[in-house]
Amino acid sequence: MLALARNELYRLFLSPLAWVILALSQVILAYLFLTHIDYFIQIQAKISAIPGAPGVTELIATPLLSNAATILLLLTPLITMRLIAEERRNESLPLLLSAPLSMLQIVLGKFLGTLGFFFILLLLIILMPLSLAIGSSLDFGLLAAAFLGLILLVASFTAIGLFLSSLTKQPSIAAVTTFATLFLLWIIDWSTQSTGLFNWLSLLNHYQPFLQGEVRTSDIAYYLIITVVFLTLTVRHLDSERLN
Amino acid sequence: MADSPLLNVRSLSRVFGTQHAVNDVSFSINKGEVLGFLGPNGAGKSTTMKMLSGNLAPSYGEITINGYDLLSEPKQAKSHIGYLPETPPLYKELTVAEFLYFCAQINQIPSSNRKKAINIAIDRCGLNDVAQRLIGHLSKGFQQRVGIAQAIIHSPAVVILDEPTSGLDPIQIKEIRHLIRDIATEHSVILSTHILPEVQTLCDRVQIINQGKLIFSDSLSGLSQHMQASSLLVTLKAPPTRVQLYTLEGVSSVETLSPTQFKLHYHPENNPTELLLEQAVSRQWQLMELTPIQHSLEDVFMNIIQQENSAMEQS
């Protein structure tokens, strides 16, 4: 299983796609990072007098990680689309299916490998706010909470993308459906009359508390449930494909 | 255990919708055997291979590999098979060595043996010169070899090769056949093909499958009995009359192809060749040509399929 994850990660870095995604997301987030710093410097003088005013972490790190989540929403489909759809198109899936591996191991291997890539991406992102620690004092608790939220968010993104990639032979279709699904789950509570269920389903809703530094079990559970459900669906789908 | 077949298939069926792609197929393969699976395109060869390798679940039936049931103990069973599908399953962005390392890992070869297993596979498949090259840059013949290397890396008891020579040029075909024969010294091999000479040169036992059904299963010598010559092509410069030829002992019928050329049919147990030679010399028929006409495997193949079809129509 770990061999599969390693192979997945390694092959990802053999393709230019991974490098391009890493580079461009850095460029965009670095630019946003700089605008946030710029804004902070502008208002610094005004808010320094107010007691209990938001600090560097709230004004720079939080919006940056909020932006990062949006960018990940756009990037995830590009990474997850190839996971199974491309193997199917290259007819390389039999290699895994005829090896002594269970379907769960195959799916988990692919999931963990992709998550590994996103972990690298997130580390690069978090380095930006961390660099502020050189010149000011940061709220590391808040930063850690936001980082945890981001990891959980990406795990659920990846699981959804993996499942949709297992449904088709065309990576581009997997990408489009993944993007649509993620986006729908992102905006599902935007309707003014949204009910409890829609509110609960919203990916964004559960991410916000992390950005405020609140680590709630219910939010962690939500992301874990989404991840487990879609991974299970993937296993079930690939298994049923052997039967039908 | 030693005498039980390595791979045993009992009444295997696979239904797609209403169509029986494979219908009640049973066979087994013993240690060191090369079993040829022969059939026209769409006969159910690949479906059978997919089921044997665990890529497709059978609708009915049972597959046992080295004593392990493929359905209830898939992991143990799968570790005893190596499978090369029609399209070799390769990651073209990896080098040959990297790819085989990954294959060794997913086939649970312990890390202490991994290097050795990879080197053996590379050696046997003649991949030494290309081990560090990207698979995507190799010729189709070499890619096929990598596919075979992948199938034998964990030294499985049974190697399943689905049309291993399709799409290769004649030289590559020869090399791959050579490789398969070499592999057969250590593993049992199941080979599917629609190329008949391939079966003749490689296999110990032949099974013919048509429309999902096994219609012939015998040793290669059994198949060649079907192919035994039973007619002669004769050219005589000064031919006798047809009746004279007909009265030769053993000749059952004479076909006149041209004024000087005849086709003699005879009973397989009563070959008139010697008699004909004797007569031709003593009576000065001036023999120009004498060729035994062998049934090609194609003929036999078509015969068996036609027999089966007409039998089905009658019933």
Please give the structure tokens belonging to residue A25.
């997301």
Q: Cβ separation of A14 and B93 shorter than 8 Å?
A: yes
| Angle, CA of A184, A187 and A189, to the nearest 5° | 115
Do B204 and B285 lie in a common domain?
no
Contacts of B87 in chain A (CB under 8 A): 91
What's residue B2's pLDDT? 47
- In CATH, what number is assigned to the domain containing residue B279? 3.30.70
Please give the structure tokens belonging to residue B64.
């046992």
- Per the rule left: phi > 0, alpha: psi between -120 and 50, beta: everything else, A14 is alpha
Residues 91-130 of A with CB under 8 A from B: 91-102
Do B78 and B170 lie in a common domain?
yes
Cα–Cα distance, B194 to B301 (Å, whole number):
10
Q: Which of these three, B208, B226, B244, is where a domain ends?
A: B226
Query: Which parts of chain B fold into alpha helices (H)?
Result: 45-52, 74-78, 96-106, 111-124, 140-152, 170-184, 196-202, 220-226, 242-246, 273-282, 297-314
Do B211 and B249 lie in a common domain?
no
Give the closest of A90, A99, A242 to B56, CB-based.
Answer: A242
Do B244 and B108 lie in a common domain?
no
- Per the rule left: phi > 0, alpha: psi between -120 and 50, beta: everything else, A213 is left
Do B187 and B274 lie in a common domain?
no
- In CATH, what number is assigned to the domain containing residue B167? 3.40.50.300
Q: Cβ separation of B106 and A102 shorter than 8 Å?
A: no
Q: Cβ separation of A100 and B74 shorter than 8 Å?
A: yes
As beta bridge partners, residue B35 has: B190, B205
Three-state secondary structure call for residue B221: helix
- The answer to the question of residue B299 being in a domain is no
Q: Cβ separation of B55 and A243 shorter than 8 Å?
A: no
Do B40 and B107 lie in a common domain?
yes
What's residue B116's pLDDT? 92
Give the closest of B79, B82, B91 to A92, CB-based.
Answer: B91
Q: Which residue has the tokens 């630019």?
A: A31
Nearest-Cα residue of chain A relative to residue B98? A7
Contacts of B90 in chain A (CB under 8 A): 90, 92, 95
Three-state secondary structure call for residue B205: strand
Do B253 and B159 lie in a common domain?
no
Give the closest of B54, B76, B87 to A98, CB-based.
Answer: B54
Do B34 and B91 lie in a common domain?
yes
What's residue B229's pLDDT? 60
Cα–Cα distance, B224 to B216 (Å, whole number):
13
Q: Cβ separation of A97 and B108 shorter than 8 Å?
A: no
What's residue B290's pLDDT? 83
- For chain B, list residues whose CB is within 8 angstroms of any CB belonging to chain A: 50, 53-57, 74-76, 78-79, 81-83, 85, 87, 89-94, 98, 102-103, 105-108, 150
Query: Which structural domain, as residue segments, surrounds residue B251?
Result: 231-293
| Complete edge-to-edge strand list for the sheet that includes strand B60-65 | B19-29, B7-16, B60-65, B68-69
What's residue A30's pLDDT? 93
Give the closest of B53, B92, B98 to A98, CB-based.
Answer: B53
List average pLDDT for each run of 10 residues in chain B, which is 315 residues long. 73 86 88 85 85 88 88 88 91 92 91 90 89 91 91 90 86 87 88 82 86 81 68 82 79 81 78 81 84 70 73 70
Do B174 and B261 lie in a common domain?
no
Q: Which residue has the tokens 């720079």?
A: A60
Do B91 and B187 lie in a common domain?
yes
What's residue B1's pLDDT? 41
What's residue B226's pLDDT? 66
- The answer to the question of residue B24 being in a domain is yes
Domain count, chain B: 2
Q: Which of these three, B191, B207, B226, is where a domain ends?
A: B226
Question: Which of A98, A102, A242 to mutate: most B Cβ within 10 Å?
Answer: A98
- The answer to the question of residue B178 being in a domain is yes
What's residue B227's pLDDT? 63
Cα–Cα distance, B207 to B216 (Å, whole number):
5
- The answer to the question of residue B155 being in a domain is yes
Nearest-Cα residue of chain B relative to residue A13? B93
Do B178 and B236 lie in a common domain?
no
Contacts of A96 in chain B (CB under 8 A): 106
State the smallest CA–CA distance between residue A20 and chain B in angstroms.
17
Nearest-Cα residue of chain B relative to residue A10? B94
Do B250 and B125 lie in a common domain?
no
Q: Cβ separation of B103 and A99 shorter than 8 Å?
A: yes
Q: Cβ separation of B89 and A14 shorter than 8 Å?
A: no
Cα–Cα distance, B199 to B211 (Å, whole number):
20
Give the closest of A3, A15, A243 to B106, CB-based.
Answer: A3
- The answer to the question of residue B312 being in a domain is no
Nearest-Cα residue of chain A relative to residue B156? A99
Q: Which of these three, B168, B194, B226, is where a domain ends?
A: B226
Low-confidence ranges of chain A (pLDDT < 70): 192-194
Question: Which of B66, B80, B106 to mutate: most A Cβ within 10 Å?
Answer: B106
Global ipTM: 0.85
Q: Cβ separation of B81 and A98 shorter than 8 Å?
A: yes
Cα–Cα distance, B20 to B44 (Å, whole number):
9
